[in-house]
Amino acid sequence: MNTYFEIDDLSPFIGSEIRGLNLSKPIAADTLSELRRVWLERKVLFFLDQQLTPDQQVAFTRQFGEADKYPFLKGIEDNPLVAPVLKLPEETINFGGVWHSDTTYLEFPAAGASLYALEVPPLGGDTIFCNMGTAYEALSQNIKDKIDTLQAVNTSNKAAVSKTRSHRLADSGDRSAPEVFTHVHPVVRTHPESGERTLYVNEAHTSRFDDWTEKDSEPLLNELYQHARKPEFQCRFRWTLGAVVLWDNRSTHHYPINDYHGYRRLLHRVSLKGSRPV
């Protein structure tokens, strides 16, 4: 029985609000161990009403692994590990506004990340998360047999997601980053901590199956994308000032909803370095 903090599950299969922790301070070892267990099980944790400096957000996130710089942005002044996720009132495109798992185009994709809300619109801008372990388990055996041994090519320059980065690359892009990252990873990944099998292709970054053409890959990939975002695998989070979200990128997809034109929205993101998917 957990005695360290309160847990309120947002949906049956993914997402829990955690109450009773102040993330600006180091978390005691026994509490952190229990929190990590809940994180791996529930995939996404939500903490409300926090007050964090950038350094405190980095320190909190580092309790779950090695912090890593987001490859395309310089980061905020004096702290390159903190990437601003910003949409300005005059902009109609939101950063990362495609269903995705972060940085799967890297050799070592992000294990997870934290987001901290500094400015939010009065309504809108929710984020939806999906459980890719539950999604894989719900596939038919016929589909599992097709994909269990496949590899997929993941790239950073697919048109839909590249468009969502355009404003931030123009004003805060890291010019030292390669123009394109590409790596091949398993279509079905084994989680390095839980051993869970998870669906590991995503609409933003997966271009095709390895040794298949894009045309031949498209029907099966689209079937997997549509399956992965079924409502029964989802939770939806409404952002409030001071909210912190910590998600396991190895077992989730997420989608930031772009329904708040005319308002400024600013989140700070800190990434966790991951391992090579197997």
Residues annotated as part of the active site: 100, 102, 254, 269
CA–CA–CA angle 102, 117, 129 (5° rounding):
40
| 44 Cβ contact list (under 8 Å, min separation 6) | 14, 15, 16, 129, 235, 237, 245, 246, 247, 248, 252
Residue 126 near residue 257 (C-beta atoms within 8 A): yes
